[in-house]
Amino acid sequence: MAKDVAPRRVLMLCGDYMEDYEAMVPFQALQAFGIDVDAVCPGKKAGELCRTSVHQILEHQTYAESRGHNFALNATFDEIEVRKYNGLIIPGGRAPEYLAMDESVLKLVREFSNSGKAIASICHGQLILSAADVVKGRKCTAYPAVKPVLIAARSYWVEAETTATCVRDGNLITGATYEGHPEFIRLFVEELGGTIQGSNKKILFLCGDYMEDYEVMVPFQSLGALGCKVDAICPNKNAGDICPTAIHDFEGDQTYSEKPGHNFTLNEQFDSVDISSYDALVIPGGRAPEYLALDEKVIDLVKHFMDSKKPVASICHGQQILSAAGVLKGRKCTAYPAVKLNVVLGGGTWLEPDPIHRCYTDENLVTGAAWPGHPEFISQLMVLLGITVSF
C-alpha cells in the first residue's frame, strides 16, 4: 500500500455524460495507490453529481451509448488552485465536446501545460487539449473520430494499433479508449514520480453475467495498472466471451437501481485454468453471485484459495459465494447490508459497513460493502500481495 499521507494530488476534469469507466477507474485506482484525487465540473460544487455514459463498440458503425452511474464530485471548480496539484486527468465521453468551449476550462488546462505538470487525457478528452492549443508539435492518440481535430491542432497524430493504445510525449499522456487504462494509469503514476514494486503477481477474477459494472472493471484495471497479470473467468464460458454487467446505483429509492452496464470480455477459460498458479482471487458483486453460489465448481475454486491461505477479496454481494462455500466460519466480514443474513448464517462475524465505503481485512480475506469502497478494497488487497506505490 502507498504511504499513509498521500504525497501527490491530482485534479480530474469532469462533465455530464463523460464516459463512466473513464471517470471512475482512474479516480478510484489513483486513490488506492495513495494519491489524492479532486473531481470538479464547471458550474458545479462538491457533493453535486455528474451523470455518466456507457460507451462501447457493438455491431454498429460507431459506439453505442446508454446511461451510466451518477458520479459524485468532491471539490468545487471555482475554488481550484492549480499550484496545489501535481497533475490533471481528462476523461472522455461526450462531456469534452462542450467543455472544450468553456474558456475557464481551457485556461485551467493551459496552466497545467505551461507548468509542465502531468496531463493524462483519454478518448474524446483530446478535444479539450486541442481547443486549449496545448498539443501543437506533441505526439497524441485518441479515439479515431478525434483524429481530424488533433491534426488541425497541429499535433503529431499516432494511429492507435488497438483500442488499448497509449502514447507518452513528455508530461503528456494520451489514450485511445478505456481499454488502455492499465497502461494509461501506470504512465501517469510514473510521470507523477511514482515507483511500483512487488507487482509480479497473478490475480484471478471470478465473473458472471450481471456482476456489477464497477466492481469488476475498477479492480481489474487497477491491478493491471500495477503490473499484475489479471485473468477473468466465468463458468461455461471461454476466453473472448463476454459477460454483460449491471450498473447498481443509489438514486433515492429504497434499494439500488439497476441499468445495463458495459460488456466485460473474459480472457481465460474456466474449465482449463490452473487455479494453483494464481496468487489471489477477486470476487465482484452484483447479481452474478446469486447463481454462482449454486455452482459446485465455483465453490471448489473458492475453497482452494481460502484453504491455501491465499488472498481473497470479495465485495458487495460476492460474499454470498463465500457463505455458500462455508469459508466464513469464525471470520470477520462485511458486505452490502442486504447480504448480512448470508454472512451471519454462514458463521461469519458481521462487521457493519458504516460508512458504506468501509472495508475490512481478516487474515487473508478482504471484504467490502459496495463500489464506493474500492480505494480501500484495492489498497488492502495490495497489502496482502506485498505491492507498494512510492514517491
Active site residues: 123-124, 316-317
Which residues on neighbouring strands pair with residue 87, listed in sequence order? 10, 118
Enter the C-alpha cell of residue 305: 484459495
Among the listed residues 57, 108, 104, the one whose alpha carbon sits nearest the alpha carbon of residue 81: 108
Using the structure block, give the residue that is written with the C-alpha cell 497502461: 183
CA distances from residue 62 to 55, 68, 93, 144, 175 in whole angstroms, order as listed: 10, 18, 13, 10, 18
Which set of grid coordinates corresponds to residue 390?
Answer: 512510492
Report d(CA 212, CA 183) in Å as an integer. Answer: 23
CB 63 within 8 A of CB 55: yes
**3, 34 contact by CB (below 8 A):** yes
CB burial string 253-274: b at 16+ within 10 A, e below: eeebeeeebbebebebbbeebe
